[in-house]
Amino acid sequence: MGVEGLTLVGARGAPVVEPFAARHLIAGAWQGSADGATFERLSPAHGVLVTRAAKGGAAETEAAIAAARAAFDDGRWSERSGKERATLLLRVADLIDRERERIARIETLEAGKPIAQARAEIEGAADLWRYAAALARTVAGDSHNSLGPDMLGLVLKEPIGVVSIICPWNFPFLIASQKLPFALAAGCAAVVKPSEMTPSTTVILGELLVEAGLPAGVVNIVLGYGQPVGAIMTTDPRVDMVTFTGSTAVGKGIVAAAAPTLKKVSLELGGKNPQVLFPDADLDAAVDAIVFGVYFNAGECCNSGSRIIVHEDIAEAVTERVVALSRKVTFGDPLDEATKVGAIVSPEHRAKIDAYVRGAVAAGAILRLGGAPLEVPGLGGQFYQPTVVAGVTPDMAIAREEVFGPVLSVLTFRTMEEAIALTNAAAYGLSAGVWSANVHTCLEFARRARAGTVWTNSWMDGFAEMPFGGMKESGQGRELGRYGLEEFLEVKTVQMRIGRTRAPWVAPSAAG
């Protein structure tokens, strides 16, 4: 359905696409599945076939894990110097720049995200490879020279080993790049599984790794579904660590699956991220950030600013301004440079978004804008209207659960205590924001919010240098920054006796 007053970007028809043929990369060789199984991906915006991919089974997954294990154990990468690792990662970054347009277009076709945004993500991903290259030359532990004259203590940092990397569909290339270059900088070997919805750009990354000269078997890519590929990647005893980005439900299952072999598990999961507005905030900037926060990537974003908590005195004015600005956001064909918001990833997901909105209205919330599927002229795919729901109370599902769509919930508060209580009421703790001209208000909020990232007078800035991750049910562990490297490092303690100075435990003269 269309809706009066929105800004839509239509299309003259579906694009002509030569479907991408995606295969597994195992021990340096590109291959289909042993049983010949494949799966297909249609563009969520246009409904055309864009990818035909090999569908991995147990045979491919186990072969990939065996290849990674062998590559790690024989030291073909783990024993390379930091300088050599950095040189290769920098080469990969240059190749990503070279292929930016190709990667961005496929990302847009598979995920439904706007082409201009996809391009920026690929550029950001190249920056992560460069940052990880810098980190590769900083892997170092500690020395302890004050344990006494007869002892020297060393703390060595070693690569953790074989890492399973499991990625979601919403930022396929960027999220793979938040993990893989850091694992490689540490000296690990990896098995990577992209989402079944967005396999192709990870395959292109594999091509670039081969071209850059990464030794065979260090990075293996298996395409397919959670069952059986993801499940084997989280249970096989030859895997030392699992790093997963995706839903909290699957993340909890992975912790349980990895427990019998005690793998390290790092998780980047969902969020229910609030922006809190105090009356002294710069409302022009705040309203723009609210609209950006909720509609970016069609709301299919772990960092989606899916709820705002607004002081009662300004709640109505803010809501009106958010609705007015929402109407100006360009929704439509993701291949058009003018589009800011593209398609919803699947029909099932659009139905889930719609159900949240209907449930909120049935529970007494008030629809101020949108609230239904959106038809974009000339496009057959699935879209959803920019949606603003006011009168939301903390007990409603839409206030607590991750909608993962272009849907904003508006809640109100009177005091700082109430704002903090509402912020921390969610089971999630990924990110939060505060808007106020008063630095004391901002700092108090930043200290008391239970969230891995807090923005003050801003939303969703990200830097390679700044760690990212969640508290509570938003995850465990951190990506990016130095912490992003540390995740993939094991600590070894070496205690060296200098000279033969230790008093014997058993005096030789006492023997016999």
Distance CA 347, CA 422 (A): 32
Query: Taking CA 345 as the corner, what is the angle to CA 354 and CA 38, rounded to the nearest 5 degrees?
Result: 135
The count of residues interacting with ligand NAD (CB under 6 A) is 31
Q: How far is the CB of 416 from ligand NAD (least distance, A)?
A: 27
171 to 210, contacts with ligand NAD by CB under 6 A?
A: 171, 175, 193, 195-196
Closest CA to 93 of 370, 371, 453, 464: 464
Q: Which of 247, 330, 393, 424 binds ligand NAD (CB under 6 A)?
A: 247
User: Is there binding between residue 170 and ligand NAD (CB under 6 A)?
Assistant: yes
Question: Which residues face 42 on adjacent strands?
Answer: 49
Does position 426 bind ligand NAD by CB under 6 A? Answer: no
Q: Which is nearer to ligand NAD, 172 or 187 (CB)?
A: 172
Residue 169 interacts with ligand NAD (CB under 6 A)? yes
Q: For residue 401, what is the DSSP state?
A: S
Question: Where in 469-498 is the site for ligand NAD (CB under 6 A)?
Answer: 470, 475
SS3 488: coil
Find the part of the chain contacting ligand NAD (CB under 6 A) among 125-133, 250-258, 319-327, 328-336: 250-258
List strand residue ranges (DSSP E) for 297-375, in order: 307-311, 330-332, 366-369, 373-374
Nearer to ligand NAD among residue 161 and residue 469 (C-beta): 469
Query: Is residue 301 among the annotated active site residues?
Result: no
Whether 302 sits among the annotated catalytic residues: the reply is yes
Interaction between residue 329 and ligand NAD (CB under 6 A): no
What is the smallest separation between the CB atom of 244 and ligand NAD, expressed in angstroms? 7
Minimum distance from residue 18 beta carbon to ligand NAD (Å):
25
The reply to whether 225 sits near ligand NAD by the rule CB under 6 A is yes
Query: Binding ligand NAD by CB under 6 A: which of 126, 166, 265, 390?
Result: 166
Give strand ranges (E) for 314-358: 330-332
Residue of the chain from 6, 139, 162, 167 that contacts ligand NAD (CB under 6 A): 167
* Residues 77/69, Cβ–Cβ less than 8 Å: no
Structure tokens at 160: 């953790």
Angle at 179 between CA 175 and CA 185, to 5 degrees: 145
Q: Which of 188, 301, 302, 442 is catalytic?
A: 302
Q: Please give the Cα distance from 45 to 333 (Å, whole number).
A: 7
Shorter beta-carbon distance to ligand NAD: residue 166 or 209: 166
> Is the Cβ–Cβ distance between 7 and 327 less than 8 Å?
yes
Residue closer to ligand NAD, measured from CB, 319 or 423: 423
C-alpha distances (whole Å) from 323 to each of 319, 344, 368, 408 are 6, 21, 7, 10
Least distance to ligand NAD from the beta carbon of 485, Å? 17
* Nearest approach, Cβ of residue 225 and ligand NAD (Å): 5
Q: Quote the CA–CA distance of 93 and 184 in Å, as a whole number.
A: 13
Q: Candidates 25-33, 210-218, 224-232, 333-341: pick the segment binding ligand NAD (CB under 6 A).
A: 224-232
C-beta of 271: minimal distance to ligand NAD in Å?
6
Q: At what angle do helices 82-98 and 200-212 cross, to 10 degrees?
A: 130
Is the distance from CB of 52 to CB of 19 less than 8 angstroms? Answer: yes
Residue 254 Cβ vs ligand NAD, minimum distance, rounded to whole Å: 6
Q: Name the maximum alpha-carbon separation found in the chain.
A: 100
Helix, strand, or coil here: 73? helix
Tell me, residue by residue from 373 to 412, as one string, x for binding to ligand NAD by CB under 6 A and - for no binding.
-----------------------------x-x--------
CA distance from start to end of the chain = 96
**Catalytic option among 107, 196, 268, 300:** 268
Q: Select the span of 56-64, 245-253, 275-283, 413-421 touching ligand NAD (CB under 6 A).
A: 245-253
Cα 69 from Cα 350, distance rounded (Å): 40
Q: Which residue has the tokens 């030789």?
A: 508
Among 8, 430, 449, 464, binds ligand NAD (CB under 6 A): 430
**Contact between 44 and ligand NAD per CB under 6 A:** no
Rg (CA), the chain: 25
* E strand or H helix at 21: strand 20-22
* 268 near ligand NAD, rule: CB under 6 A: yes
Q: For residue 144, list its beta bridge partners.
A: 153
Question: Interface with ligand NAD includes 453 (CB under 6 A)?
Answer: no
Q: Decide if residue 293 touches ligand NAD (CB under 6 A).
A: no
30 membership: H or E segment, kind and range: strand 29-31
Q: How far is the CB of 323 from ligand NAD (least distance, A)?
A: 25
Chain residues in the site for ligand NAD (CB under 6 A): 166-171, 175, 193, 195-196, 225-226, 230-231, 234, 245-247, 250, 253-254, 268-271, 302, 402, 404, 430, 470, 475
Catalytic residues: 268, 302
